[in-house]
Structure formats: structure tokens, C-alpha cells
Amino acid sequence: MNPSDPIPADPLKRPVVRLRPKAEARALRHGYPWVYADELVLDRRTSALPPGALAVLEDAERRPLGLVTVNPASKIVARMLDRDPGAEVNEAWFVARLSRALSLRDRLYAAPFYRLAHAEADGLPGVVIDRFGEVAVVQPNAAWAEAHLDALVAALVRVTGVSAVIKNGSGRARGLEGLPEETAVVHGAAPAGPLPVPMNGATYMADLTGGQKTGLFFDQRENHAFAARLAKGGRVLDVFTHVGGFALAALAGGAEHALAVDASAPALALAGAGAKASGFADRFATRQGDAFAVLEDLGREGALFDLVICDPPAFAPAKPALEAGLRAYERIARLAAPLVAPGGSLVLCSCSHAADLSAFRNASARGIGRGGRRGQLIYTGFAGPDHPVLPQLAESGYLKALAFRLDG
């Protein structure tokens, strides 16, 4: 069975799935959105449901808890969609969710460049939507969203008026749901080339069809702005820059010069294009290579910067990778700290779900100490308000940014 198999639309005909007697229903009643495989009765009937099927979830006493989407092939076997077990998931249902999400972003941002839907926190489990002006990029990372993609896209166009919608079906999350990787234009026409995105006084170039994730990371916007204040008049090193990340924001904030490091030549080309579009080309340079190797080389060269930022990909995307991930964060801090000039600042970031703030902060502090430096923690940042956190789901608050002011 696959997400294209028929799924009963009539609420009266929906299957019923039930929690095991020892499963904790209280958390679900209080807003926790996930049910794991060992919490659900996975009999032959439930196990035969197609990925993305809608079902009524009941507790062990057969009391309804809400409408869920079921994927027997996933560790997260059920995701709460609606507290009303009779809710109909159709275009109108998506319009209501997206309208609520849009009302928040309209209050926050003057221009339509932001994350419009942040999965569970916006009532759309596994669905990420980033908006780039007249273009939206959708990541349907759960089987139910794949099955209802037509209704989702129709509602998205209706609510926002975007002229194009791109489906980005790539990434680890889709693999865990048993979904294939694919990218396609599902409404309108894709931009002919990289799209300019204004943010924090700079212009970023986003590749919406061939870049990482949706093409640009909006989550660091507020952390970029804080780092830019530290960068004024100084020299900046931005490691794991992607398409310019912290470097372009720092230059917009008055940095004297920025060196951007990334392993990806296409990403650095986009960063360079962004620097040119922003009028910063004469103060911007790039260096391609493995981040750890480049940090080691810069250390041997005796290079010093007033602000160093390291914003790596998730080193600990899941619990099995936690210990190795924390060692990698510690190593990054150890290599980066000696590159900070006396009185300068070091910004370290983590987007790892499995590494909570305390663990990441401790690994960073150990690394700074092993790098022969001491410092004050002057800032702790998270994703911006267009990436809201569902309080009951710690995983929705994945991003951490720490700024340290280092001594001599």
C-alpha cells in the first residue's frame, strides 16, 4: 500500500485505532501530537492501513481523542490532525489552518518572505512551507500530506495568492515515512534562476529548485541580526555559510570584511551573487573546503577575526547520533575559539533535534576551554517567530544559537 491508495473521506466510515492500556492518553489530551508504534494496538487491521490514512484515535477505554493520520511503517505511527474526530480534511480545512498561520506572519513581517507553516506548531504535522514572495516551497514530509497535496496546494494558492508552488520532496524525514525523494513544480512556473530575498538589510539569492531544503534558511533571521551588531567595524569569519548566512547580515551591519566558508561551490556562488546584489562584493570573500580542515588551516596561518560564526548542519539529528554529535560541536568550538581576536565574539549554532540547549551549551563551553580560551555567554537565540514552538513537542524548538565574548 502507498499514499495514493484510497483513503475514506466519510468520517462515519473511518477506521478506529486504539491506544494500548498502558499508553499515556493524558499527554495527547493536553496537546502532545504523536503516538509511537509501541503505544498503539497494531493488530492486523491497523497494520494494513495505507500510509497517510485518516483514523479516529481512541484511548484504551474506547473514548475518542481526535482525528489522526496513521502510517504503520513509521516510528511515529499516528499524528494528531484535529481534536474533532469527525473533522473533514479538505481544501476548506487547509484554508483555515493556513489563514491562521498567515495572520501571524503578516503581523511580523513587512514583506512576504518567511516560513508560513512550521509543521506541528501550525497544526500541519510534517508540513513545512516557506514563502518567497510570489513563490511558495512546500515540504510534505509526512505520508498524509503527500496524500492530500492537491488540497493543500489549492488552499495555499487561495490563501496567499502565490503564483507558483514548488514541492521539495527531499530529506531525511521523508525517508523515515517511506516516501520517495522528488522535486516538482505543482502550481504555476518556477523562477528562471535564483530568487533575490531581502533580509536584515542584505539580499540573499535562493535556489528554490536545486538548493538545500527550501532554498534558504529563514530560521536564523533574528540571530543574524544580533550577530550583525557584534560585527560592526570588524572582520568576520562565517563557517558553514550556505548562501551567505551570517556573513551578508554582518556586512549589512557594518562589518569591515567577511570571509564565508562552505564545502559547496554552488552555495558559495550564490553567496557571492548575494554579496554583489547587496553592494558588498568588495568586502566579501569565499573559501571552499571542509569546515574542520579550513578552521585548522586558518589556525596554522595565525588568522584572527573579530567575529567567528559556526552554523553547521545537524550533527545529532536523532538520539543514536547524540554522543558523536556533541563531540563534533565541541571540536568546532575548540578549533574556532583560537581564531577570535581578544575581546571578539564567537557564535556557535546547532539545529540538532537530539541535542538540547543544555547539552549543546556544555559541549560548546568545553570546546572553548580546550581551545585555550575563556568567555562570557552574552546571548542565547532560537529560531524566529515564524518558526513557532509547540510547547508540548520539544522537537519543534530545534535551533539554538550561543554568542560568547572571549577574553584575551
What's residue 12's pLDDT? 57
Q: What's the CATH number of domain 195-406, 2.30.42.10, 3.40.50.150, 2.60.40.1230, 3.40.630.30?
A: 3.40.50.150
Cα–Cα dist 228/231, whole Å = 5
Residues 6 or more apart from 312 whose CB is under 8 A from it? 239, 240, 291, 328, 329, 332, 349, 350
What's residue 4's pLDDT? 43
Cα–Cα dist 246/33, whole Å = 33
Query: Grid coordinates representing 57?
Result: 484515535
What's residue 11's pLDDT? 56
Q: What percent of the chain has pLDDT over 70?
A: 97
Distance of CA 54 to the CA centre of its chain: 26
* The one catalytic residue among 310, 351, 354, 390: 351
Q: pTM above the 0.85 mark?
A: yes
Q: What's the CATH number of domain 91-187, 3.30.160.40, 2.60.120.10, 3.30.750.80, 3.30.1700.10?
A: 3.30.750.80
**H or E element in which residue 358 lies:** helix 357-370
Q: What is the mean pLDDT of the chain?
A: 94
Contact 54, 69 (CB under 8 A): yes
Cα–Cα nearest to 376, from 392, 365, 386, 390:
365
Cα–Cα dist 127/147, whole Å = 12
CATH superfamily label, 11-82: PUA domain (2.30.130.10)
Low-confidence ranges of the chain (pLDDT < 70): 1-12, 408
Domain boundaries, the chain: 11-82, 91-187, 195-406
The answer to whether residue 349 is catalytic is no
